């Protein structure tokens, strides 16, 4: 469920990018208790029920509850890899969100054109076909989740302090396509 919210929030973050922010902040809260993810483009903060916040920097640095965790080079690389995968999902979401906004504007224009010309059935079929193409593009985010999970699991294995924060499951990956 949290991953579905992450994908949705990332797609919607295009609104922030459209307002001139080069690095949108994406906040995803999966539960009323504040558990979730905040991604700024420079850091990633994970919040889990009953745990202090864990923040990962673009350089792979990890801090938990504001305190740096000592990492060797292999551990830092694992955290960088995890961060890069989250960043990839976010960028894909922004790209797809931008395309979705353009599609929405185009679909609205086509619908109005169809009503005014009396060809609303033909226009409806055209918009539906374009919507299917867009849906396929949006599902590309789901394709990246398996790679994200691999990076997450490697980081959790190498950095025991990170393990409680690694909650992406195969069920989440499967659920993304539903």
Q: What is the DSSP string of 47-87?
A: E-TTS--EEEETTS-EEETTEEPP--HHHHHHHHHHHHHHH
Q: What is the pLDDT of residue 141?
A: 85
pLDDT class for 159, splitting at 50, 70, 90?
very high
**Six token digits for residue 112:** 């109005």
Per-residue pLDDT at 1 exceeds 70? no
Per-residue pLDDT at 110 exceeds 70? no
Q: What is the pLDDT of residue 72?
A: 99
The single-letter DSSP state of residue 22 is S
The single-letter DSSP state of residue 33 is T
pLDDT class for 90, splitting at 50, 70, 90?
confident
How far is the C-alpha of 25 from the C-alpha of 157, rounded, in Å? 28
How far is the C-alpha of 93 from the C-alpha of 17, rounded, in Å? 11
Per the structure, the count of domains in the chain is 1
Its domain, for residue 112, covers 2-176
Q: What is the pLDDT of residue 7?
A: 46
Q: What is the pLDDT of residues 135-153, one digit of tens each?
A: 777 788 888 899 999 999 9
Q: What is the pLDDT of residue 38?
A: 84
End-to-end CA distance of the chain: 11
Q: What is the pLDDT of residues 115-127, one digit of tens each?
A: 666 666 666 677 7
Q: What is the pLDDT of residues 52-70, one digit of tens each?
A: 999 999 999 999 999 999 9
Q: What is the pLDDT of residue 111?
A: 64
How far is the C-alpha of 152 from the C-alpha of 83, rounded, in Å? 9
pLDDT class for 71, splitting at 50, 70, 90?
very high
Per-residue pLDDT at 2 exceeds 60? no
pTM given for the model: 0.70
Q: What is the pLDDT of residues 9-47, one digit of tens each?
A: 444 444 444 444 455 565 554 544 567 888 887 899 999
């Amino acid at each position: 469920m949290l991953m579905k919210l992450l994908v949705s929030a990332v797609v919607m973050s295009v609104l922030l990018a459209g307002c001139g922010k080069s690095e949108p902040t994406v906040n995803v809260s999966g539960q009323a208790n504040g558990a979730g993810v905040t991604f700024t483009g420079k850091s990633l903060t994970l919040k889990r029920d009953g745990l202090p916040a864990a923040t990962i920097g673009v350089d792979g640095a990890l801090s938990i509850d504001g305190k740096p965790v000592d990492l060797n080079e292999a551990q830092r690389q694992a955290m960088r890899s995890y961060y890069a995968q989250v960043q990839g999902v976010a960028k894909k979401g922004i790209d797809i969100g931008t395309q979705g906004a353009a599609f929405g504007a185009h679909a609205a224009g086509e619908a109005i054109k169809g009503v005014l010309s009396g060809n609303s059935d033909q226009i409806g079929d055209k918009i539906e076909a374009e919507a299917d193409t867009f849906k396929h593009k949006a599902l590309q985010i789901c394709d990246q989740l398996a790679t994200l999970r691999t990076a997450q699991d490697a980081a959790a294995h190498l950095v025991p302090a990170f393990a409680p924060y690694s909650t992406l499951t195969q069920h989440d990956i499967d659920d993304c396509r539903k």
